């Protein structure tokens, strides 16, 4: 199997995590190899197991050098809105061969009939059971669990140890905090935040933060981004 390069966009600690997932995956036979980091705010130089190659312009030049060859990238930014903004900037570079790739740690588990969108990462210990759909640029962090028929929309962030029971819907950009549980058939609205350790029994509207068990709304967010 020939090796395939992938660029991590964002040289921060989440980038280091993705870097280590790629090394683990390579040890288990994955052809995916880290081709380097791109960062708008850090100077080129060593980072993680690789190097910061440059900024978005560097990435544009890399993609433009051989337009017939796909160049994969994955974003490494935990903040959901910042991640969406970053993807918008990458798409605006105008390089059709610059495409989001999926990183799947070898100790993640994906059951039958699931869909995983481009640009999404599955961390160690994450589990998707069956007939679930994960959108694009989703972060599924360590030991996050997604049960049957869940839908997780683009730019959502499932933090370590959270649990989505059956048929849960997590709308675009929603943030499910570490260790939180969302019971079956519940919807968490777009860009909402479920606090660490919360237990959600009823639908959460868009743009609010809920906390506790049972989870209650503690604040609304005025600066909700519009749906594209």
Ligand X SMILES: CC(C)(COP(=O)(O)OP(=O)(O)OC[C@H]1O[C@@H](n2cnc3c(N)ncnc32)[C@H](O)[C@@H]1OP(=O)(O)O)[C@@H](O)C(=O)NCCC(=O)NCCS
Catalytic positions, written as ranges: 148
Among residues 36 and 206, whose Cβ is nearest to ligand X? Answer: 206
CB of 141 to ligand X, least distance (A): 6
Q: What share of the chain is helix, strand, coil (3-state, %, to 5)?
A: 15, 30, 50
Exactly one of 64, 127, 183, 211 binds ligand X (CB under 6 A); that residue is: 211
Site for ligand X in 102-141 (CB under 6 A): 141
Residue with Cβ nearer ligand X (149 or 172): 172
Q: Is 197 in the site for ligand X (CB under 6 A)?
A: yes
- Tokens encoding 217: 């709304």
209 in contact with ligand X (CB under 6 A):
yes
- Determine, following the binding rule CB under 6 A, whether residue 193 of this chain makes contact with ligand X: yes
Cα separation, 6 vs 73, whole angstroms: 5
Q: Where are the beta strands (DSSP E) in 3-108?
A: 4-9, 32-38, 45-47, 50-54, 71-75, 98-100, 103-104
Asked if 177 is part of the footprint of ligand X (rule: CB under 6 A), the reply reads yes
Closest contact distance (angstroms) between CB of 151 and ligand X is: 22
Q: Which of 120, 119, 144, 147 is nearest to 194 (CA)?
A: 144
The nearer residue to ligand X, 217 or 227, going by C-beta atoms, is 217
Run of H or E residues at 112: none
Nearer to ligand X, 63 or 86 (CB): 86
Nearest alpha-carbon partner for 141 in 7, 21, 5, 3: 21
Q: What angle do CA 177, 136, 116 make, to 5 degrees?
A: 90
Q: Tokens 């639908």 correspond to what residue?
A: 203
Q: Is 196 in the site for ligand X (CB under 6 A)?
A: yes
Q: Kindly tell me which residue out of 89, 212, 214, 221 binds ligand X, with binding defined by CB under 6 A.
A: 212
178 binds ligand X (CB under 6 A): yes
Give min distance, CB of 226 to ligand X, in A. 22
Binding site for ligand X (CB under 6 A): 141, 159-160, 177-178, 193, 195-197, 209, 211-212
């Amino acid at each position: 199997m020939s090796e395939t390069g992938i660029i991590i966009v964002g040289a921060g600690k989440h980038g280091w995590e993705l870097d280590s997932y790629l090394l683990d995956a390579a040890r288990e036979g994955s052809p995916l190899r880290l081709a380097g980091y791109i960062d708008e705010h850090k100077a080129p130089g060593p980072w993680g197991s690789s190097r910061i190659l440059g900024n978005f312009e560097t990435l544009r030049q890399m993609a433009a050098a051989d337009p017939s060859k796909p160049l994969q990238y994955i974003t490494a930014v935990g903040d959901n809105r910042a991640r969406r903004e970053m993807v918008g900037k990458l798409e605006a570079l105008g390089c059709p061969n610059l495409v989001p790739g999926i990183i799947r740690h070898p100790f993640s588990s994906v059951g039958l009939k699931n869909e995983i969108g481009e640009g999404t990462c599955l961390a160690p210990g994450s589990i998707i059971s069956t007939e679930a759909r994960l959108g694009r640029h989703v972060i599924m962090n360590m030991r996050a669990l997604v049960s049957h028929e869940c839908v997780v929309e683009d730019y959502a962030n499932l933090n370590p140890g959270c649990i989505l029971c059956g048929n849960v819907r997590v709308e675009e950009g929603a943030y499910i905090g570490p260790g939180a549980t969302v019971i079956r058939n519940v919807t968490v609205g777009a860009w909402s935040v479920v606090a660490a350790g919360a237990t959600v029994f009823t639908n959460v509207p868009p743009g609010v933060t809920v906390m506790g068990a049972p989870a209650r709304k503690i604040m609304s967010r005025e600066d909700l981004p519009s749906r594209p």
